[in-house]
Structure 1
């Protein structure tokens, strides 16, 4: 689901060169924007404890806050797709 929305790194491979670039930005721009905004709100304004928030903040400590937002947006897309498939509701842990 993350690849469909363009929230995964673009991969460059050619002979001896192999590196990951920025996110691919393919797919629906509006959905990608809304997921990014939701991730930003979860990281900056959400006051209750949430495992997803702790996971993203650990990424932010290792890397940058921007990468943590994109990673959280991708994780939210995967969770929402699974919820849509199964017909379940979100239960924060």
Structure 2
């Protein structure tokens, strides 16, 4: 699971993926401050938190939701 989350974070940061602009901009702010590797780990954790909330609340992913942008 850890590798999959890290790979997803890498993809979000390196490719233009529809619906992930808020997550990418959040991670890029971290990358400027702490480096790209730490930003990928932080984004992977944020994705894990979002997925956990989705499973607990039984809701689909909503990239524009405020909770998505503020998760983690």
TM-score (norm 2): 0.82
Gaps of 5+ in 2: 65-72
What is the number of equivalent residue pairs in this alignment? 63
Residue 47 (structure 1) shift? 4.6
Higher helix share: 2
Which residue number in structure 2 is paired with residue 37 of structure 1? 7
Which residue, out of 21, 27, 36, partners 1:50?
Answer: 21
Higher strand share: 1
RMSD of aligned Cα (Å):
1.2
Question: Between Structure 1 and Structure 2, whose CA radius of gyration is higher?
Answer: 1
Which residue, out of 35, 45, 48, partners 1:74?
Answer: 45
Gaps of 5+ in 1: 1-30
Moved over 6 A (4+): none
- Of structures 1 and 2, the one with the larger relative CO (CA 8 A, separation 6+) is 2
Which residue number in structure 1 is paired with residue 59 of structure 2? 88
Counterpart-to-counterpart distance in 2, 1:80 and 1:52:
14
